[in-house]
Structure 1
């Protein structure tokens, strides 16, 4: 399978796992991951009925008719499965002798079946100067706030 097809398959698996986590209630799924030499990170947030919500706060925006299991166990299953997919992406690039992206910002519009992806290829976290202390979690939080304020 060529690189683009395999990468799309891994991304589709991340989207499916993230959608299952919210019982397919999301209108949009926002995935951010980091894959640097010594660092792997994954997180996801959602837009549900025009409300932006992180994975551990879903029941706060639902009408009460729906309930999502936000337990640590269920969140860890999602995170672990997506981290494994990131490892597969990394391995696939290595097998092809190609440089892999180090960050990925994915927005999947469920309602319109549209996927937008932005890649970064330079390591930002492992090579950052000591005076810059941004972490992947802080970048994720920044993107979450940006999505809310700009209606991404």
Structure 2
């Protein structure tokens, strides 16, 4: 029965990656997805590595080859649409974990390598956001973004 749980959980992660790839029109080297689920609070965000540079979702056009006429659509509506889908997937993960009597991770960091078609997932089960009352989920996302960016 655990295989069924693992498959369903993996499908939800794959859906998150898929919507992030759709947003970037499959033009990224890596996709980074941050998910936080603590208590009744869900936070998510995403960013990319494109042309060797780590970039937030609204800054994609800053890292494209200027000789190309291509431009990403980074409109607020598109960003919100992706975030809505990721949030829905996180909610589904929570229900899935409850259904199978599994612990829901409080934090999930996904890194999808496009060229290798490989997904790396890092899960935490301890309280991350709520143990530091001065931080919100977005602050932790920014810390991860800065960490990845400094390692490039």
TM-score by length of 1: 0.92
Number of the residue aligned with 1:24: 26
1:61 is matched with which residue: 55, 60, 63?
Answer: 63
Structure 2: gaps spanning 5 or more residues: none
2:106 is matched with which residue: 85, 102, 105?
Answer: 102
Number of the residue aligned with 1:116: 120
Q: How does 1:69-88 map to 2 (within 5 A)?
A: 69-88=73-92
Question: 2:20, 2:31 within 8 Å by CA — same for their partners in 1?
Answer: yes
Deviation >3 Å, runs of 4+:
none
TM-score by length of 2: 0.92
The CA RMSD measured in Å over matched residues stands at 1.3
How far residue 135 of structure 1 moved from its aligned partner, in angstroms, is 1.8
How far residue 124 of structure 1 moved from its aligned partner, in angstroms, is 2.3
Cα deviation 1:49-92 (Å, max 9, x = unaligned): 10110001111111242211111111110000110011000011
